[in-house]
Structure 1
């Protein structure tokens, strides 16, 4: 059912890890394949990270396959799901018979207990994130036009950006997942400034809107011992709770951030001055 499982890591595991080790443990690639729904599993907050590209035919969220006692039960039996259409074209998502038209950059929150989730649309590319839930909140579609973005940074420091908080208590209720989209202004390349750590939550980044030859240098690790992973368009990186997360690209880009853990407080973070990093 899951193409790959990513196990939780300790900061000591960064010591002596090769670039290939870092990529194997934290980088999720190849999620978006024509005509396929691809799922991976992370032990960090029990995230399911996936991609669905329907192409000419529809795709459905699969049922559970393990453990044996849960085989055949809906994947969202005890989970909630967030998705964003990152494709160039519109698509349709049906949740237990309710239809949602998702234009590019539209998001959908799907509550725990939803049994039948189907994806269609030749130009659509759905980025999927799911975490365990204790309660079902209302099914809801969200668009960027509904959200007043936070404007942060400035062009002089190459980090001017708009932050759209899509799934947070003041915009859309959820049991555990928080999700938003950050869009950098032309000429800006730095994200998540100042960098920070939040010990109570894991975070997942998807970088997109990059050209084929574009790259993002994603920084991670303890603030006093930074490492980096070079990432391409539609690559995903898993950031453990103890790790800094920030990046710089070869040009402007967009990214989707998703968090889950102990709380839903966007501001629960330990901000690091750039001069503290080494």
Structure 2
């Protein structure tokens, strides 16, 4: 597992484009046949991906976690951006179609990822944070998501935020997860570039 240390805000203001990309952009995700994880010092978040093509990809612990298994003291959110796949959690199979979400609670010991068709693999996007309590593993589909409409045609940012893991949806310790659908003609949702002191944000 790669470790990424974020630059301080005062240092970030002095970085050129190349340095900003190397500090914040994760270009090694979604490699066919691989499970990739990046440990960051930003709230101890772990960002990763799993693109299974043959045998299932197993989520193991790492030296950085000092844990017997990955979710011993962590929770994880999974979003599938590819074809149909399966996430096995402690012997229970959770089938995920495109844009389906799975929350995996603290204490889940055995986690693996598989594709229904190796020639058209699932593409699982993974986010994990430390957890102080155990919540149940739950799957959600786009029909289950809380949908929030934002933006205007004039500002070219009409969009629907589909919320999965949040205070009114799937319960978690500190993880919030969802995805954004853009309306035709809309081109952005984060401008002007900004930060939040109250939370970290990780975009795929």
What's the TM-score once normalised by structure 2's chain length? 0.92
Alpha-carbon distance, 1:11 to partner: 1.4
Match of 2:92 in 1: 98
- Answering whether residue 181 of structure 2 is matched by residue 183 of structure 1, we say yes
Alpha-carbon distance, 1:148 to partner: 3.6
Match of 1:262 in 2: none
User: How many residues get paired?
Assistant: 200
Q: Distance in 2 between matches of 1:6 and 1:200?
A: 21
Coordinate RMSD, CA, aligned? 1.6
Match of 1:37 in 2: 35
Q: Indicate if the aligned counterparts of 1:109 and 1:139 stay in contact, CA closer than 8 A.
A: yes
- Answering whether residue 8 of structure 2 is matched by residue 20 of structure 1, we say no
Match of 2:51 in 1: 53
Q: Distance in 1 between matches of 2:105 and 2:16?
A: 39
Identify unmatched segments of 5+ residues in structure 1: 207-278
| Paired residues for 1:246-265 under 5 Å | none
Match of 1:230 in 2: none
Identify unmatched segments of 5+ residues in structure 2: none
Match of 1:83 in 2: 78
Q: Distance in 2 between matches of 1:15 and 1:93?
A: 40
Q: Indicate if the aligned counterparts of 1:33 and 1:53 stay in contact, CA closer than 8 A.
A: yes
- Answering whether residue 111 of structure 2 is matched by residue 113 of structure 1, we say no
Alpha-carbon distance, 1:195 to partner: 6.3
The CA deviation string for residues 190-232 of structure 1, in whole angstroms up to 9 with x for no partner, is 20367654212111011xxxxxxxxxxxxxxxxxxxxxxxxxx
- Answering whether residue 133 of structure 2 is matched by residue 138 of structure 1, we say no
Q: Indicate if the aligned counterparts of 2:146 and 2:164 stay in contact, CA closer than 8 A.
A: no
